[in-house]
Structure 1
Amino acid sequence: MNVQKKLPPFDAWLDAIDQQQAAVLMTITEASLSQKNYRICYLENQPPIGSFYDQALELAALSIAKEKLGQSNPQSESLMIQDENELDVDIFFDVFVPSPTLMVFGAGHDAIPVVKYAAECGMKTVVIDQRSLYNDEERFPHAERIIARPEDFSGCIRVTNRTYIVVMNHHIEKDKQTLKFALSSLAPYIGVLGPKSRRIKILDQLYLEGCHFTYTDLQRMHSPIGLDIGAVSSEEIAISIVAEVIAVRTRHKGGFLQGAEFIHQSS
């Protein structure tokens, strides 16, 4: 989204929500308000909109806003920050982060429970498959469906740093082209169905074609996909896949809670 700078901070904030873009609205509360410049909207990876009356206060608030958008589960809250005169100023940080997106490449029968469980967990779901008879509303009633060939992905698919990708085409050439696209994207998680030997074969073919990925790129790739819970059926495998996506998103290891000191995290 390209927000016009002429928009007031609050209007830019509302526009960000409408466009489903991560943003933080910082407002000096009425108790502390003594100047006109009391509100800033920070949109992820964009210059701030608006300003505070105090530069030190503004820089400190923007630093907190950026830190919040880097958290897995950021919370809105009021914080006391000192201005350049060392006076405490109460600022409310109103955080909006869109729901994570699970993007499934392949509309086979085993993709149905993956998409279903992800949607039930609050994720936006997208299914990409060129076969319209498979990628239809009856099979994926709660998902956005994109009919596209691998060579068309870059022109019709938008991947952000909150998009989690699952590759399950059951076709090694399609998986190869999909993986090439996914590893070049901002996706923090790229799960590929199949054994380790299949992953090696695909990566070797990409390497021979001149597609060289860094260690950091490949660290985002999960193959075999899912958590090791002894899954056998399509439904069980779907649970293990969605669970792994949640674990990556929340920066958890996905192990047993037995013996853990805490069972929940705040961010």
Structure 2
Amino acid sequence: MARIFITGSTDGLGLMAAQLLSDQGHTVALHARNDARARDAQAALPDNAGVAVGDLSSITQTREIAGQVNDIGPFDAVIHNAGVGYYGRSRVETEDGLSDVFAVNVLAPYLLTALITPPERLVYLSSGMHHSGDTELRDAQWTRRPWQGAQAYSESKFYVTTLAFAVARRWPTTLSNAVDPGWVPTKMGGNSATDDLHLAPVTQAWLAAGDDAEALVTGRYFHHQQSRRAHPATQSPQVQDRLLKYCADLTKVELPTAVSAD
């Protein structure tokens, strides 16, 4: 059985994936934004390995989360599930002067990947909207453009998909994949979402702990356990390295070039 850490796991798809994995006999550690949400997580999944607490929109708190995870771990898999949506929201600036959509959806997964003891598997939550992302990393914080929430979200999912593939390229002994869970009626997806909510957490749980050959792959983009074509630019080493440098400059933390098979 595997040990798995899931960000953003107090409700929605993160909690659903945690419950699914726990029901399968795996050991799951959770993440909550604050102490109140941590209590909710404990109540929802009492048989957990621990709850890391901190706000992923903050670089300082994300670093602290990584430390907590390393204290609870090590883990066989990490699911980067936490995300910020865009419905009915204006641009929100974090304490670090960043767009919170970028900070939570992209920078936090980058920083946690760089700081958490590398697991055997990494899963990053993407979206079909990533196909509309900007490949040039122009104005990623939306300080020069009029805010467009849907486009900001699309770009963030393009970047996190690119991150998944960059890790797959740099860390060949780690299975790193991106998942489109579909447009489902969660708090983020909204009530008008049309995809099957019950299917939404299955693929990330499968990639984190499945033992069939189809799950033991890397550098792929999945929807409902089927490999799909990602935006071609996400596979570009130049685009990947541009994103990694940008994130390293913001956090002052570089992604290790490679991890050992040990």
User: What's the TM-score, normalizing by structure 2?
Assistant: 0.46
User: What's the TM-score, normalizing by structure 1?
Assistant: 0.46
Q: Would you tell me which structure has more strand in proportion to its own residues?
A: 1
- Greater C-alpha radius of gyration: 1
Larger RCO: Structure 1 or Structure 2 (Cα < 8 Å, ≥ 6 residues apart)? 2
